[in-house]
Each structure stands twice: as structure tokens, then as C-alpha cells.
Amino acid sequence: MKIITVIGARPQFIKAAALSREFAKHKEIQEVIVHTGQHFDANMSDVFFDEMEIPKPTYNLEINSLSHGAMTGRMIEGIEEVLLKEKPDLLLVYGDTNSTIAGALAAKKLHIKVAHVEAGLRSFNMEMPEEVNRILTDRISEFLFCPTQSAIDNLEKEGYNNIDCEIIRTGDVMQDAALFYAQKSEEKSTVISEIGLEKFALATLHRAENTDSKERMTQLVNGLNEIHETICPVVLPIHPRTKAKLELHGLELKVKLIPPVGYFDMLELLKNCSLVMTDSGGLQKEAFFFQKNCVTMRDQTEWVELIDNKVNVLVGADKNLLIDSAKEMLKQSSDFNINLYGNGKASSAIVNTILAENSKII
């Protein structure tokens, strides 16, 4: 059985690595990895793949730095060529990037069945390109691997019980990856000794809806600065785009800024921090994986189960709400002994489903 895996962004490589390790246990499965090149990253060298124990892509389409339409169109064209050559039984995609929808469309047009990992997630904000990508990918996929019950609920509300597809709750492959790499991060990373803090809150700030708005950015910067100065030291890996936006808006982050960090460093920061404050999607979950309360600087989240279980709180871009929530979450003792994301067994659940459904795929 031949499976084509299409990925294009660094987080997708890490997720795919978890599933690739599981595929490798089954001799009857041949996986071919296609990297679209969507997120061009000089750090994605042989060292990156070797250190992360990630299978190197068979194909690299090197498509990046284009508009959404141009990028997606060229990806469809490039992936189609690979599919015609490889003739797979199944195409597998992750998440909600342009690479995701391009892979699904290319396969569907060639009557190749599609499996979507991280299916059913919704932000209910159609202005986000990711929301468009994930909704369209779900609709043309035969296998919808859902990380959470809320993802399944979303699909059922949208009528997917009346669509010819398999909906399976598997858990989240990001937890598989986080638990696997957490065993290696301490020996790979020196970031904790470098920052020299015993207690700190970890923050990230990069989402366009925050950084593109001077009003939102001002509220969040002022809130983070006050938390750093009066409540708890804040460590923030500064994204180059965020740095440029701070200069554009005439704002100054007075927290402890460090350069962008790799995955091992981020895991060590998560393992050692007292609180997470973020506008990232993935970091909200990773906070949970490492039993840390989270304050999310967004108006909505795809990970509603974290809100429901009171280990995460949404504060939008409200300075006072950010400060008050940080105080509360630093004091709050939360119960993390709940299985929201599969407890690190999502990859095996996905592979077992694929093998069980083999007769439907081929």
C-alpha cells in the first residue's frame, strides 16, 4: 500500500514524523513524502532532519514566496505530477495550510482518496485563510481523523453524517510528537541556562490579527510589559515580523526578548515555565501537554476543550483582561489528568484505521 504524505510547513514535518515512525512499523505500507516548500526555512537542512529524526522528503517542490492563489495553483500542478508518477493508494494531508488544500484537490481530481489529519477544527472566522483551507479539505476527504470530540461535533453539525466519509476520533499527533521529543530536548537544548530564570512566563506574539493592528498591539504590549514588571518575568522569543511591526507602531516590549527558538528549545521553555501566554494555535495545546495553564491573546480558538476544562482562557487584545487572567492562571491549580488529545497514541490509531480500511482504499 503506497501513501503520499504532503507537507509544507515546519509544524507539519514534526507531526508527520510521529506518523512516519508508526508507518515504518508496518512493512505493507510504503510512504512517500512530498514537501511543497511552502515555508522556506534555511534551518530545514540535513541537520534539521537528522536531529529531529524526520524522514527526508522524496520530493521538494520548492514553491514559496507567492500570493495565496499563485502558490496554491503551482502546488496543485506540482503535486499532480508526483501523483501521476507514483500512483498512490491514498494521499494524506495535515492541518490547514495551502499545501493541505493543494494536496487534497490534486488527489481528488485524480480519484485518489484523501485522509485529513486534524479534521473538523473550526475557528468560525472565514477571514482566516486557514479556515477556508480546513473546511474545503474536510469536504473532499474520505478519511477525517479528528483530534478531539469537539472536532467531531463540528462535522456532525455540518451534516457530515450524510456524506460518504469515515469520521474517526484519533487524538492529536502533536501530543505524540511532543512526548517523543520531550525525552530528547533536555540534552539538545541550553536555552534554560541561557535565560537564567528560575520562574518565568513564556509568551509568543506573532499572529497577523494582533501585529497588523496598532490598537491591538498596543494593548498586548502594555499588558505583557506590566506582567513582566509587576507579576512574573516574561520570556518572549521575538519573531522578525513581530519585531518589524513593533518598530512600525512605535512600541517597545520591555520583557526578556530572546531570538526565535527551535523545537527543542521551545519544549524546554514549556517544561520549565510557570504560565503560557500566546496567540499561537499549537502552543495552546502544547501548554496542556506539559501541564501548564494558558492565556490566549485571541478572540477565538479552535481548541475549545481547553477553555471548557478551564486550563486556557481567551483575553482577546484587552490589556486589563490579559493582566488579570495572568494573575489568576499563575495561582490556579488545574487538573490535567484528562484525555483530551489521545495521550500520545494518535499515530497508532490513525495507522490502525488505515490498515483496517485497506479494502476501501485500494
N-term to C-term CA, the chain: 8
Residue 80 Cα to chain centre, angstroms: 25
Dihedrals φ, ψ of 261, to 5°? Answer: -115, 155
Separation CA 112–CA 346 (nearest Å): 24
Verify whether residue 206 is a known catalytic residue: yes
Tell me whether residue 331 is exposed, middle or buried, using C-beta atoms within 10 angstroms of its C-beta: 0 to 12, 13 to 18, 19 or more: exposed
Instruction: Assess contact for 326 and 148: CB atoms under 8 A.
Output: no
Sorted by sequence, the CB contacts under 8 Å of residue 101 that are 6+ apart come out as: 72, 132, 133, 136, 137
Active-site hit among 116, 206, 239, 249: 206
Q: How far apart (Å, rounded) are the C-alpha atoms in residues 224 and 17?
A: 34
Is residue 141 within 8 Å of 115, Cβ to Cβ? yes
Provide CB contacts within 8 A for 189, sequence distance 6+: 264, 265, 267, 268
| Cα 151 to the center of its chain, rounded Å | 15
Positions marked active-site: 206
